[in-house]
Amino acid sequence: MRLSRLTEKHKADTIAIGNGTACRETEKAITGMIKSKVFKHPVKYCVVDERGASIYSVTELASKELPDLDTNTRSAVSIGRRVINPLAEYVKIEPQHLGVGQYQHDIPAAKLSERLEVTVEECVSFTGLDLNQCSQHMLERISGLSKARAKAILTWREDNGGFTNREQVASVKGVGPKSYEQCIGFLRVYPSTAQRKRVNDSDGEESDYEETSNKGKRKVKGKAGASKQRKVCTTCYLDQTSVHPESYPQAVKLIKLLELKLKDIGTKDFVSTIRSKASPALHTQLECTEGTAQCIITALSQDLTFDFREQFSKPLFKSDILSESSISVGTKLEGRVSNVTHFGAFVDIGLKKDGLIHISQSRGTTLSLGQRVSTSVVQMTEKGIGLRLLEVL
């Protein structure tokens, strides 16, 4: 079967199914294939909210990102991307097309867009962007970066083979000192994705950060231990963290004080030492405020794969289907809040239609979109399934 061949060819272990027309029929077919062991390796699936995917497929942005694909295929790509990075995909769609909330169409589009911009900027700031992998659409959401500046950064990245450190952003046309100061703390450069291009660097080794002069050069130690000046093209390990460049000197002092090495940032032993020995009380030795010391410690106590979104609920991955015939009053079900109205919250419980937690069954709890909840069935009629909230997971 073609689907089996595709999963084998691309080593795919997850199938994303849009929750639109023929969703449950497709889900039934996939579960049948899984049970029949049609796939040559373990495969699971998840049902993804496809609202706005068709709108995205006909936008100018979609044409630029996927120029060789038809609109149906673009929609499918958007649905798949939502499993990998929902934030990066949903920001491409105007909020009024997401179909969330009872009165969204009664709110002026300008207010919806303004609120979306603020929310997305906060999310992107907490998450941080990899300078060598992020898209222009996400860069535009970073504080201090306009559409023109984001485009200029990507042009520089393409022309120079990628960024090797944060300081190079300051050399991008259109990014002035103020813009640089605002945006740089939210941008990351990882050695794993950076192109190791260096200028006047005959030994080709990576260098620890020491200091940065006003001329844009970084002082590093050579093999013999003597200082030399090198153009800003070496890898700076602190660029992987949320520490702002303004606090690099204090961060280096802390690392040396605890007898750690910059190149070990993010490793298990490094993180363990920071968490157990670092304290804001060290701010006098670091020559900074207690608040700055705390920010540095928080940044250095996270491993390099840290993502604040991990604390939120993830997609529901399944290998079997749930049908209405398999549930009855009293059945306990887990699901995710898919919509909130003045009379209650709709919950995706894996059936063809969402269940409703009426406000009278919410136990006084105010639910929000995306929350994962535990419920029990209190009513089953032709109109729908009534649920009672047990707890927010």
Q: Domain containing 23 — which CATH number?
A: 3.30.420.140
Q: Are residues 98 and 128 in the same domain?
A: no
Rounded to whole angstroms, the Cα distance separating 1 from 301 reads 48
Rounded to whole angstroms, the Cα distance separating 193 from 129 reads 12
pLDDT for position 314: 57
Least confidently predicted of 25-34, 108-117, 332-341: 108-117
Reading the block at residue 356, the tokens are 């409703």
Q: Domain containing 335 — which CATH number?
A: 2.40.50.140
As a whole number, mean pLDDT of residues 328-340 equals 84
Residue finishing a domain among 73, 105, 137: 105
As a whole number, mean pLDDT of residues 70-74 equals 90
Residue finishing a domain among 269, 295, 317: 317
Rounded to whole angstroms, the Cα distance separating 345 from 356 reads 6
Answer with the residue of higher pLDDT: 104 or 275. Answer: 275
Reading the block at residue 358, the tokens are 């009426």
Q: Are residues 112 and 96 in the same domain?
A: no
Q: Domain containing 131 — which CATH number?
A: 1.10.150.280
Contact 363, 311 (CB under 8 A): no
Q: Are residues 75 and 124 in the same domain?
A: no
Q: What percentage of the chain reaches a pLDDT higher than 90?
A: 12
Q: Are residues 116 and 236 in the same domain?
A: yes
Q: Are residues 219 and 156 in the same domain?
A: yes
pLDDT for position 225: 38
Query: Which residue segment(s) compose the domain that 230 sits in?
Result: 108-240
Pairing mode of beta strands 355-358, 385-392: parallel
pLDDT at 125 over 70: yes
Q: Are residues 254 and 303 in the same domain?
A: yes
Q: Are residues 101 and 127 in the same domain?
A: no
Q: Are residues 170 and 69 in the same domain?
A: no
Q: Are residues 270 and 380 in the same domain?
A: no
pLDDT for position 315: 58
Answer with the residue of higher pLDDT: 262 or 113. Answer: 262
In a 13 Å sphere around the CA of 177, the CA atoms on its Cβ side amount to 3
3 state SS of 163: coil
Contact 65, 81 (CB under 8 A): no
| Count of domains forming the chain | 4
Convert the pLDDT of each residue in 195-229 to its tens digit: 544 333 333 344 455 443 333 334 433 333 333 33
pLDDT at 149 over 90: yes
Q: Are residues 87 and 58 in the same domain?
A: yes
Q: Tell me the average pLDDT of the chain.
A: 79
pLDDT for position 102: 53
pLDDT at 153 over 90: yes
Contact 39, 14 (CB under 8 A): no
Rounded to whole angstroms, the Cα distance separating 180 from 172 reads 10
Q: Which pLDDT band, with edges at 50, 70 and 90, does 82 fall under? A: confident
Rounded to whole angstroms, the Cα distance separating 163 from 46 reads 36
Q: Are residues 231 and 252 in the same domain?
A: no
Q: Which pLDDT band, with edges at 50, 70 and 90, does 95 fall under? A: low
pLDDT for position 305: 67
Contacts of 366 (CB under 8 A, 6+ apart): none
pLDDT at 40 over 50: yes
pLDDT at 72 over 80: yes
Q: Are residues 29 and 117 in the same domain?
A: no
Rounded to whole angstroms, the Cα distance separating 120 from 93 reads 12
Residue finishing a domain among 45, 72, 105: 105
pLDDT at 186 over 80: yes
